[in-house]
Amino acid sequence: MTNRETILLVEDNPDEAELARLAFGRIEGDYDLHIVNTGEEAMRVLFAYGQCEESALGCKPALILLDIDLPRLSGFELLRQLRASADYQHTPVVFLTTSDESRDVARGYSLGVNSYLLKPLDFERFTELLQSVSNYWLKYNTRVH
Amino acid sequence: MSTTSDLRPAGPIVSAWKQIGQILRRQGIGQRLLFYIILFSSLVTLLATAVQLYTDYQRDVGQIKSRLADIESSYMASIGASLWNLDVNQLRLQLDGILHLPDIDAVAVYELSEGVDRPLSIVLGEFKKNQAIVREYAISRDFSGEMQQVGLLKVQASLQAVYARLWDKAIVILLSQGIKTFLVSLFILYVFYRLVTVHLGAIARHLAGYQVVEPGPALALQRKSRQPKDELDQVVDAFNQLTGNLEDAYQHMREINTALADDIIARREAEEEVKRLNAVLEERVIQRTAQLEAANRELASFCYSVSHDLRAPLRRIEGFRRILAEQLSAQGAAERSGHYLSRIETGTQEMNDMIDSFLQLSRSTQCELQVVSVDLSAIAESVLQELQQHEPQRRARFDVKPQVRVDGDRSLMTLLLRNLLHNAWKYSGKKDMAHIAFGFTQADNGSRTYYVSDQGDGFDMAYADRLFSPFNRLHTSEEFEGTGIGLATVQRIVARHGGRIWAEAEPGKGARFYFTLWDRNRDDKQGNDIAGGGQSG
């Protein structure tokens, strides 16, 4: 296990993914960002950690960032399955979305999401937000080992 | 039993007697009539008998008295002489003569001479105290011109015979009168029965059997008709007229009843129709409600799409614009490109604001009200403070009435004040000093009208009716930025709290927005929207 941590971002829109990658490129911290485009792919990489070498994912991610509106396997469903598994029961999962629909927020928390974050319009503020989130969950927050 | 059969002329006396027997047995007018006739007749008889007896008595007593007077005139002189001569035999003869006169039953002579040892005393008959008239005559002698009493003649006339005669007479009179009275009474009774009672009975039976539904023949009495009509005929006529009227009235009532029944049937049918229509209407309302709910759900999902689907690409545009701007800046690109990029930024910012406002508008209509007590003053203070902090260079005076509490949905009330105060702040931007006030006025009936006023740019009241409809702006974006949705949102929030909102303004002088909450009678002020200039005050 390396010192570097892995952040998994599940985002179906390639432009969003690229913006996120650009924003992550500007923040400080020892981590690798791994982006997958669908829920299914996320499931595949998450539960293939046994074969770390084969997996694109270095190892079990320390933070998972989820979009809600994913084709077929939605963010909610993905979250439900993660919380149901022994491996990701305590892994911090954060929703990163543009919808502040209170119904979605409530559903997210009831399914056990750790944070529900709205992506701001301003790119600079988006970058700041990502910095804060990774700092909080990867540096300050105490984790279950 | 029928009276008509009793009246058949089979032995009229026997028949009448039987009838009288019946009348007497019956506790009716006949019995009472008989009683009163006999009572009165007996009284009259008694009185008349008494008068008769009294006059008879007076006459008899008068006779006796005149007889006594005759005795004095015819016997006194001779008896006086006999007494003086002491001729006892002569005296006895004379007294006996008196005694034989009618009604005289005792006579006596007493000598009243002074100094006589055994005065003469002859008594014939027996003197009684009762039922008799006793006269005493002084027997006097003329002694040389001086009259001197020498004796006393006492005569008693008995009234026994008088009384006996009177008694006999009384018995005869009473008996004859009694029998006469009784017979006359019976006759009167019979006549009364024949003339009145029997007809009254007939009338009573007719009345008892009378039915207005089946009237039968008119009332007619079995007797000869008379001219002019007597009281019974009048009663019969009156009764027949009454029943005639009654039958007419009954007929009339029946007609009305029939009409009413028809009316009721018609009404019931109408009711059925109304019920049916109501059911149809209800069905329709249910359908419409379902449609409306579906539409609402669609709108909600549309809003969701707007919030998510529109905002996401906008974010991307802005994100890439930002990166592009940085790269261009790093490459020292022309200023013109930077200008275009900043125009894109403004555009995306505007669109984002619009999406926010649109969502606010939809949420103000859709969300469920959670009514609690809300401190509007505190909200206003915090919103104004926030505005001032955001633009600290601006000079402003805020006048917020403290402790203004209302019942309402906290988040919607916040949105309401936020929109109004933001407007006030925005449109005061060109003044040196913003003056924004929040408070309420209270009418006599206790109803409050809240207001948010500014002394900013105001607007022309001619456009007031467009104020509260979405996407209607009274200012160009160059003058004041804005989405044109804020007041529409405000209007919906007020409407959902059962109130009205209107505005007064003057260009360059400022605007004053009034709103009410929980109006009781809204029917006379249907338009809670767009009240405009008509609602001044």
CB contact under 8 A, A16 and B304: no
Domain ranges in chain B are 15-198, 220-365, 367-535
Measured distance CA(B110)–CA(B118) in Å, rounded: 11
What confidence category does residue B402 fall into, taking pLDDT thresholds of 50, 70 and 90?
very high
Which element (helix H / strand E) includes A10?
Answer: strand A5-10
Per the model's pLDDT, the better-predicted residue between B23 and B231 turns out to be: B231
B386 HSE (CA, 13 A, CB side): 10
The reported pLDDT for the residue numbered A65 is 94
Structural domains of chain A, with CATH: 5-60+77-137 (3.40.50.2300)
Compute the average pLDDT of residues B228-248: 86
Measured distance CA(A114)–CA(A64) in Å, rounded: 10
Asked if residue B5 has pLDDT above 60, the reply is no
Task: Answer for the pair B154, B134: CB distance below 8 angstroms, yes or no.
Answer: yes
Residue B434 DSSP symbol: E
The reported pLDDT for the residue numbered B74 is 85
Asked if residue B381 has pLDDT above 90, the reply is yes
CB contact under 8 A, B314 and A121: yes
Per the model's pLDDT, the better-predicted residue between A129 and B366 turns out to be: A129
Asked if residue B179 has pLDDT above 50, the reply is yes
Give per-residue pLDDT as tens, B318-331: 999 999 988 888 88
Measured distance CA(B333)–CA(B302) in Å, rounded: 41
CB contact under 8 A, B307 and A99: yes
Nearest 5°: the CA angle B211, B215, B221 is 105
Task: Look up the ipTM and state it.
Answer: 0.80
Which of B487, B498, B480, B465 is closest to B415 using CA atoms? B487
Measured distance CA(A31)–CA(A64) in Å, rounded: 12
Q: φ, ψ for residue A104 (rounded to 5)?
A: -65, -40
The reported pLDDT for the residue numbered B190 is 84
Q: Pick from A69, A100, A121: which is nearest to B315 by CB? A: A121
Percent of chain B exceeding pLDDT 70 equals 90
CB contact under 8 A, B323 and A121: no
Asked if residue B535 has pLDDT above 50, the reply is no
User: From the CA of A28, how many Å to the nearest CA of chain B?
Assistant: 18
Task: Answer for the pair B161, B56: CB distance below 8 angstroms, yes or no.
Answer: no
Measured distance CA(A12)–CA(A32) in Å, rounded: 19
| Ranges A19-28, B340-349, B519-528: which has the least confidence | B519-528
Architecture of domain B367-535: 2-Layer Sandwich (3.30)
Asked if residue B277 has pLDDT above 90, the reply is yes
Percent of chain B exceeding pLDDT 90 equals 21
CB contact under 8 A, A22 and B319: yes
| Ranges B11-15, B90-94, B162-166, B176-180: which has the least confidence | B11-15
The reported pLDDT for the residue numbered A2 is 46
User: From the CA of A99, how many Å to the nearest CA of chain B?
Assistant: 5
Which of A64, A84, A85, A87 is closest to A75 using CA atoms? A64
Which element (helix H / strand E) includes B359?
Answer: helix B335-366
For residue B176, give Cα distances in angstroms to A82, B25, B182, B349.
142, 26, 10, 143
The reported pLDDT for the residue numbered B526 is 38
The reported pLDDT for the residue numbered B483 is 62
Q: What is Dmax (Cα atoms) for chain A?
A: 41
Residue ranges of chain A whose CB lies within 8 Å of a chain B CB: 13, 15-16, 19, 22-23, 69, 97-101, 119-124, 126
Task: Give the best-scoring range by mean pLDDT among B274-283, B289-298, B339-348, B479-488.
Answer: B274-283
The reported pLDDT for the residue numbered B522 is 44
- Which residue in B316, B349, B362 has the most chain A C-beta atoms within 10 A of its own C-beta, making it the best mutation to test that interface? B316
Report the mean per-residue pLDDT for chain B. 82
Compute the average pLDDT of residues B404-409: 91
B370 touches A: beta carbon within 8 Å: no
CB contact under 8 A, A98 and B352: no
CB contact under 8 A, B322 and A100: no
- Which residue in A118, A123, A129, A130 has the most chain B C-beta atoms within 10 A of its own C-beta, making it the best mutation to test that interface? A123
Per the model's pLDDT, the better-predicted residue between B520 and B347 turns out to be: B347
Contacts with A, B 286-305, CB within 8 Å: 304
Per the model's pLDDT, the better-predicted residue between B194 and B378 turns out to be: B378
Which of B177, B461, B315, B3 is closest to A118 using CA atoms? B315
Asked if residue B537 has pLDDT above 60, the reply is no
Measured distance CA(B438)–CA(B429) in Å, rounded: 18
Q: 3-state DSSP call for residue B436?
A: strand
Q: φ, ψ for residue B513 (rounded to 5)?
A: -100, 130
Q: pTM of the entire structure?
A: 0.47
Give per-residue pLDDT as tens, B29-65: 777 877 888 888 888 888 888 898 899 889 988 988 8
Measured distance CA(A94)–CA(B410) in Å, rounded: 29
B501 HSE (CA, 13 A, CB side): 25
Which of B104, B96, B94 is closest to B69 using CA atoms? B104
Asked if residue B355 has pLDDT above 50, the reply is yes
The reported pLDDT for the residue numbered A54 is 46
Which element (helix H / strand E) includes B48?
Answer: helix B29-84
What confidence category does residue B19 fall into, taking pLDDT thresholds of 50, 70 and 90?
confident
Measured distance CA(A10)–CA(A39) in Å, rounded: 7
For residue A104, give Cα distances in angstroms to A100, B179, B359.
7, 126, 15
In angstroms, how far is the first alpha carbon of chain B from the final one?
A: 95
| Ranges A10-19, B206-215, B340-349, B446-455: which has the least confidence | B206-215
CB contact under 8 A, A121 and B322: no
In DSSP terms, B135 is beta-bridged to: B155
Per the model's pLDDT, the better-predicted residue between B405 and B293 turns out to be: B405
Asked if residue B198 has pLDDT above 80, the reply is yes
Compute the average pLDDT of residues A62-69: 90
Q: Pick from A16, A98, A123: which is nearest to B323 by CB? A: A123
Compute the average pLDDT of residues B221-232: 80
Structure tokens at B268: 């019931």
Measured distance CA(B130)–CA(A79) in Å, rounded: 152
For residue B142, give Cα distances in angstroms to B91, B145, B149, B369.
19, 6, 9, 155
